[in-house]
Structure 1
């Protein structure tokens, strides 16, 4: 696992640093081909079954679950939401669905819950084990009524990064996505608790995605929206996620 994480990180760094090569058509085809091969192999290894990420006993939980990426959202709106315990936070469900919705935390907590103790593997090479609780994404999507042309789920977030030169900085929102197979997987949940407690701000409060068969950057924090789409091509940079757009990370980051 550590070796594979290193290779993914090294590949991302290579893509980010070698613009001339990275912009060439043939190189893009090589990267896309490798990613599709990885995705196909990952699914084929299950032999047609639903493959589950390993789950652990609570005794294996890490003493500290490291926070990575953004550790808060630097906006007045988020600080106000935090001050009121996220009582008015809403998770939108939109796109190719029959029943769009605006879900409160109370709505999320009233749904059937799944608790799982899993290992989080970061592209930087570190891991931590934590217990996550929340409804399965499949429950939310089934209630919304996903339309037949849907192929992907886009996760919208409140956090962002500032990009560009010092004299022309611009806000780029964090987002991520997955295909319908991962969206409907039993271990894909919208988590509101970590280790039996309310999700800490540094770990993505009040809601974060858990896609347990994917590397850590796919587990979007500060979740505000679930958008069901047919294609990722016209969304932000078109690569399916923030780090995929800005640094060339693989979209399919299956473990």
Structure 2
């Protein structure tokens, strides 16, 4: 039986406070010094809270993102973020077409899981043709097939204090200490997809948006502690019918550049929430001990945790 979700209703006073903070942030939008200050950060956080409040107030947990006919599928689905993880363990899996891949599901669950791709494909599947909206302003439409995240969580069984779902990924974004990074190699291949249209960008740029680049080595951890991509959502989005762990794109196995073997699709949020190269799903009560406590790699570098659209 699917666990009953105890999601608190938005509080009117909290909304008014958040709305006031949002208006204050808008009025001070040109003041970088204020935005960088502790008070500015708190004010901007109130704006994010207002965004979450309004979307949850207007939309039911089952409200669907728009789905498109196949005729509108983009001829080339531009990959975002990492496009070829440098990690040795990942490259070894990719070399065998992810034959040895296992998705670990643990944390606050009754029955920890280790699921192969065959196991995941044997579960009920959902196919949806949706638009990916990147924080950088571009979008693309793709047809995704995968297992609803709710099916995996139901199989594992959530404990009563479960509140968040954290996705731990294979791609190293940086090293916490030691070593020097080498220039990024050309990893623009997009196997199994149509050729890029002439003039299209040949590289994903989300990882450059905050001034960071993934190291180009092949997982030499002598450089320091690898910081791999991580992301999180709450139970409302986890149990949304369009939240899936996608293994196919446009009727073919997910390409490496688009997140093989498994990526998250949480269709009512921006692109950086769509974690790629998922290796482990952790169920937790709090996000405080995940990274720097922001709930995701980019959130710990200033992005909003709730990126609803």
Would you say same fold, with TM above 0.5?
Answer: yes
Q: Is the 8 A contact 2:80 2:271 kept in 1?
A: no
The residue that corresponds to 2:168 in the other structure is 156
Deviations 1:65-111 (A, max 9, x none): 00121101102221211111101111110111000011110111000
1:37-186 matches, cutoff 5 A: 37-46=50-59, 48=60, 50-162=62-174, 170=224, 171-186=226-241
1:211 has 2:211 as partner:
no
CA distance in 2, matches of 1:226, 1:164: 22
Report the structure, 1 or 2, having the larger helix content: 1
TM-score after normalising by structure 1: 0.88
Highest CA radius of gyration, 1 or 2? 2
Q: Which has the higher strand share?
A: 1
Alignment gaps of 5+ in structure 2? 1-25, 182-223
Offset of residue 190 of structure 1? 0.2
SS in 2 for 1:36: helix
- 1:250 equivalenced with 2:304 (yes/no): yes
After TM superposition, the runs of 4+ consecutive aligned structure 1 residues lying more than 4 A away are 20-23, 163-170
Counterpart of 2:245?
190
Change (3 A) 1:252 1:49: closer
CA RMSD of aligned residues (A): 2.2
The count of residues paired between Structure 1 and Structure 2 equals 239
TM-score by length of 2: 0.73
- Quote the Cα distance in structure 2 between the aligned partners of 1:205 and 1:85: 9
For structure 1, the 5+ residue unaligned runs are: 1-10
